[in-house]
């Protein structure tokens, strides 16, 4: 429950900072340029779903190996995961470069902003190389139940991004320069995570690619089973701004409006991580110990707590949608409150 508490606090802090940041960016650049930022971010985010299910599989099996002190299996699993993440990273780069060379015509990007759009996509491709290679560090920290420390790192990029927004507004920097700085803020926690991880493992021995498929195929088979579930749950949120940028008559403006609605509701989608991220390694180790009573008691308590915490904000947002959007983005959200209320009703129904 300590890890759950820190996870909730960090997620709330992250959402609060983003909640403040988006109106600042929207009012500074306008809907069209902000929509371009949204679409490029969604492109990169959607491609990250190529690994859907793999992080959960790594945490589950790594936590079991740690509980059973199978350190050699842990090393092999991590090195094999690094190889697979590296391959996915190269695929990510190839797709983004393809968009820059050929696929940009599918998006309703204003001609005067086309060069900036291409530069932003190339920057996202370059940043994805570091992201994909080192994202296994997050899963290892969760497996070692270092969730409380990892949760504190969640808010760091958002804080840096907020400071960067103030600099951009002060010196009136263009929107593509803002996006480059935003990418750097997202990569900032990587050295800190590696520094923390060295308390648990030898980084040189573990964080280099290897291939031990015979030892790790169960982990990846489990991850593959989760792939379709994770894709169906998360792909829609990333695909919506992409499709709007390609098909909507207003193009990038529609993508920006969707992002405003999504940011208001994001707290509801992130609530699940308050409970699932800290719970997964703990439950895995309890299963390894055959402590079924602990598993049943904890699952019931966390399910009841999650239900109670979720219902109140859903109802509040649905009832106060117009006022919330007026305070949030002013007159730019006048036509969106009906859609926000419908979204909340659908959330309750699900």
Q: What pLDDT score does 48 carry? A: 72
Longest dimension (CA), the chain: 63
pLDDT for 290-318, tens place per residue?
A: 888 887 888 788 777 777 777 788 888 88
Query: Tokens at residue 218, please?
Result: 């169960």
Instruction: Report long-range pairs for 67-75 (Cβ below 8 Å, ≥24 apart).
Output: 67/284, 67/285, 67/288, 67/289, 68/288, 73/215, 74/201, 74/206, 75/201, 75/205, 75/206
CA angle at residue 47 from 244 to 24, to 5 degrees? 55
Q: What pLDDT score does 178 carry? A: 97
Q: What pLDDT score does 152 carry? A: 81
Q: What pLDDT score does 245 carry? A: 85
Going by the DSSP 8-state scheme, the letter that residue 208 receives in this structure is S
Rounded to an integer, what distance in angstroms lies between the CA atom of residue 164 and that of residue 17?
12
Rounded to an integer, what distance in angstroms lies between the CA atom of residue 182 and that of residue 332?
24
Q: What pLDDT score does 216 carry? A: 82
Q: Is 57 exposed, middle or buried (0-12, 13-18, 19+ CB in 10 A)?
A: buried
Tell me the DSSP string of 274-325. HHHHHHHHHHHHHHHTT-HHHHHHHHHHHHHHHHHHHHHHHHHHHHTHHHHH
Contact predicate 51/91, CB 8 Å: no
Would you say the pTM of this structure is higher than 0.85?
no
End-to-end CA, the chain: 26
Query: Tokens at residue 71, please?
Result: 């350190």
Domain spans of the chain, in order of start: 2-255
Tell which residue, 32, 40, 231, 206, has the closest CA to residue 133.
Answer: 206
Going by the DSSP 8-state scheme, the letter that residue 330 receives in this structure is G
Regions of the chain where pLDDT drops below 50: none
Q: What pLDDT score does 117 carry? A: 96
Query: Tokens at residue 292, please?
Result: 């079924």
* H or E stretch covering 273: helix 252-288
Residue 93 CB-half CA count within 13 A: 15
Query: Tokens at residue 175, please?
Result: 């929107």
């Amino acid at each position: 429950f300590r890890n759950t508490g820190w996870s909730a606090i960090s997620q709330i802090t992250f959402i609060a900072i983003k909640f403040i940041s988006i109106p600042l960016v929207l009012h500074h650049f306008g809907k069209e340029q902000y929509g371009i930022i949204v679409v490029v971010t969604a492109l990169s985010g959607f491609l990250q779903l190529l690994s859907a299910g793999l992080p959960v599989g790594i945490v589950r099996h790594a936590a079991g190996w740690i509980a059973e002190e199978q350190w050699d299996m842990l090393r092999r699993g991590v090195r094999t995961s690094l190889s697979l993440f590296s391959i996915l990273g190269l695929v990510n780069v190839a797709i983004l470069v393809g968009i820059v060379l050929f696929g940009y015509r599918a998006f309703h990007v204003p001609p005067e902003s086309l060069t900036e759009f291409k530069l932003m996509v190339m920057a996202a491709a370059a940043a994805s190389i570091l992201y994909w290679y080192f994202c296994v560090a997050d899963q290892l920290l969760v497996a070692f139940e270092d969730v409380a420390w990892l949760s504190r790192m969640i808010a760091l990029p958002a804080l840096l991004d907020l400071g960067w927004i103030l600099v951009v507004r002060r010196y009136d920097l263009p929107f593509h320069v803002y996006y480059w700085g935003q990418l750097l803020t997202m990569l900032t926690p990587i050295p800190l995570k590696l520094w923390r991880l060295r308390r648990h493992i030898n980084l040189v021995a573990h964080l280099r690619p290897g291939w031990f498929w015979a030892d790790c195929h169960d982990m990846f088979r489990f991850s593959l089973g989760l792939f379709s579930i994770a894709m169906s749950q998360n792909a829609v949120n990333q695909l919506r701004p992409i499709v709007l940028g390609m098909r909507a008559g207003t193009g990038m403006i529609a993508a920006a409006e969707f992002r405003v609605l999504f940011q208001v509701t994001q707290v509801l989608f992130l609530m699940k991580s308050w409970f699932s991220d800290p719970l997964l390694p703990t439950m895995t180790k309890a299963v390894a110990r055959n402590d079924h009573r602990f598993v049943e008691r904890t699952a019931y308590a966390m399910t009841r707590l999650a239900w109670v915490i979720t219902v109140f904000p859903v109802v509040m947002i649905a009832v106060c949608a117009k006022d919330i959007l007026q305070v949030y983005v002013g007159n730019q959200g006048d036509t969106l409150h009906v859609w926000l209320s419908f979204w909340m009703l659908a959330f309750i129904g699900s």
